[in-house]
Homo-oligomer: A and B are copies of this chain.
Amino acid sequence: MQRWLSIGEFSKVTHLPVKTLRHYHEVGVVVPAAIDPASGYRRYGTDQVGSAHLVRRLRNLDMPLAEVRTVIEAPEEQARNRAILSYLARMERQLAQAQLAVASLRALLEAPTDSLVVEYRLTPTQPAVARRAVVEGAAVSEWCAATYPLLYAAIAEGGAVPAGIGGALYPSEFFEKGVGEVIAFVPTADRLAVAEDSRDASRHGLVEAIDIPGTNLAVALHCGSFDELDRTYGSLGTYVAARSLAGPGPIREYYLVTPDETDDPDELRTEVAWPIRPRSEDQTQPNTKGAMT
């Protein structure tokens, strides 16, 4: 009664194309129960159908094949289901992402280019608590959302209060390679000692006390979702480049109104700060405003 299924039969009962099944065999995701030694024909067991259905669903959700393999090789059903459910959670976040991307595209098509107001600013060197990590472009808002609570907690633990707006440093590499070391920080009045403890305590949520170096900045205010930030980068970066103002150092963002404070993306306020080389005027008049339409 126990019969094998040929690759064609298995294809029909799993809805996986034959070429795909051969590929899955090659990479070890769905391995036939037996191979006919004479003909080389693949023979699939009826008990492999359920597993193949699972593979098809996971691939429909774009789970990488390597990950699919570890899921279906998981010995206990518990671990397997946990892996799948965590991937589902990731997927659902990604779906929300895609919907934001659609909204962002709509916005780009409809919204006119805003007039740009650029402020020149000379920031002093400032102590801060900070956390750094090598982050991918797409993951940065998630990482920030996880980081700032840690920073505020570290400040509170140190018996201090924030001395300014929280921000982050993005090196050129972050944009040019799509991944780089990002430093999120919250300014403090003085160098915090407590932060050194938490540095030793845990390598994961590693919070440090550092100095954010002073520099000359060209600053523009971005109103709206982080997904739209490239537009302000475009306007400000073009403005800076057209005037040959660019200086060394990472680009900064200051988060004036954060997702913690509002649920409406339109109410978010972010300053984009482009490093510029010092100019003689800046020495005497550190806060100048220039406008462009």
Interface residues of chain A, those whose CB is within 8 Å of chain B, are 1-3, 5, 8-9, 11-15, 17-20, 46, 49-50, 53-54, 56-58, 60-61, 81, 84, 88, 91-92, 95, 98-99, 101-102, 104-106, 108-109, 113, 137, 172, 175-178, 229-231, 233-234, 236-238, 241-242, 244, 246, 251
Contacts and interface: CB of A to CB of B under 8 A. Distances in A.
Given A58-B105, A84-B105, A176-B12, A242 B46 contact: yes
* Copies of the polypeptide in the assembly: 2
A155 to B, nearest CB: 31
Contact of A241 (B9, B14, B54, B237): B9
B15 A137 contact: yes
Main secondary structure of the interface of A (DSSP, over half): helix
5 contacts: A12-B175, A13-B234, A19-B177, A57-B104, A60-B98
B137 A3 contact: no
Given A5-B238, A46-B238, A102 B109 contact: no
